[in-house]
Amino acid sequence: MLANRASIISPSVTIGISTKVNELKKQGIEITNLSIGEPDFFTPEKAKLAAIEAIKTNRTKYDSASGLLELKQAVIRKLKRDNNISYDIDEIIISSGAKHSISNALLTILNPDDEVIIPKPYWTSYPEMVKLLNGTPVFANTKDENSFKLQADELQSLITNKTKAIFITNPSNPTGAIYTRNELEALVKLCVNNNIYILADEIYEKIVFDDTFTSIASISNEAKNITITINGLSKSAAMTGWRLGYAAANSEIISAMSSIQGHLVSHPCTIAQWAAVEAINSCESDTQNMVKTYHERRNRVIKMFEEIDDLSIIRPDGAFYTFINMSQLKPFFSNIDSFSLEISNILLDQYRLAVVPGIAFGLDDYIRITYAADMNTITTGINKIKQFIEDIKK
């Protein structure tokens, strides 16, 4: 008999899609894949060489549970250089990906029945992680006209004496929206006044197209004290498979996260950590080149959607996704469990285009495409969506 927690979590929609895409590919069917959530670039050369050097010089043993000293120092320099926040060494932990940093943080702060506020649309793993720990996800509705960014009055109405934490994903996956400093200050004020931790998921921090990103912990000392900043190398340095993330928070939280990590996994792969030191210290120009390309693609995507009458998108100012409002097509579909799943299945089965249904992010009127793909694939994919709409309306 399995534990109850094994049955309360839902299987990942995104993994379901990639499994189906792989099966179709194995049958020799060509798929236009705009469902992927990872950079279409390779890890920078210098980071790869640092890993090889670590292997050659036998830096391959167990190390500190909270991560290599050299990597924590690099993260501290990064947080000062990019975000103007000062952290001490006992306020940083290195984990096996941002996902692992988030689960460590939740393990550290959540008691059973604690509520965690999750603005919709959300990154698909947050609710499942909260449920796994017997916490209660409390979904916050947000508005299309605010690019689905949570506003302070919307947060206020959800706060109870059980509220323990809130997720703020900035820039957002799936919308690419970026919070203004004013919006963040209003949210921080409420969280400080109500003793609510902020889980600031800033994994897409580097992929921004205007100079508008504010790291939440930089807002004030009070903000810093209640914020667990989550970041990593997956998106900024195209290092998804290396599984390297980190968290910054007050030393009480980091110390508990380190103990938990020590017992559950010891620490992330040492070799990957040496690669991350190099990525943080000397691969900024590689990141900038990737961002330049994402920016060009983003502009092209916006232009293409301006030419499609029946669809609107949330303007992406960061990350590498576009969240597309398909609700105008709803009258053509009735009596189905999930509109976005139905659309995604039709796009895959009939048009050979893989997208992610909005239901995976809690909003069923939408689908998400990525522009972490070459321009030809992006253009082909958007033209397929256009064709699908024309066919439906025939």
C-beta of 96 vs 344, nearer to ligand PLP: 96
Q: With the C-alpha atoms ordered 246, 251, 253, 254, is the resulting torsion angle positive or negative?
A: positive
Both structure tokens of 97: 């990906």
C-beta of 203 vs 226, nearer to ligand PLP: 203
Which residues, in sequence order, are CB contacts of 197 under 8 Å at separation 6+? Answer: 109, 164, 165, 166, 191, 226, 227, 228
Query: Minimum distance from CB of 245 to ligand PLP (Å)?
Result: 4
C-beta of 232 vs 357, nearer to ligand PLP: 232
C-beta of 123 vs 274, nearer to ligand PLP: 123
C-beta of 208 vs 304, nearer to ligand PLP: 208
Q: Tell me how far CA of residue 172 lies from CA of 28, 84, 200, 218, 322, in angstroms.
A: 34, 22, 11, 18, 10
Cβ atoms within 10 A of the Cβ of 173, count?
A: 23
Please, what's the b/e burial string for 87-124 (b: 16 or more CB within 10 A of its CB; e: otherwise)?
beeebbbbbbbbbbbbbbbbbbbbeeebbbbbbebbbb
C-beta of 201 vs 286, nearer to ligand PLP: 201
> What is the contact surface with ligand PLP in residues (CB under 6 A)?
37, 97-99, 123, 169, 173, 201, 203, 232, 234, 240, 245
DSSP line for 85-139: ----GGGEEEESSHHHHHHHHHHHHPPTT-EEEEESS--THHHHHHHHTT-EEEE
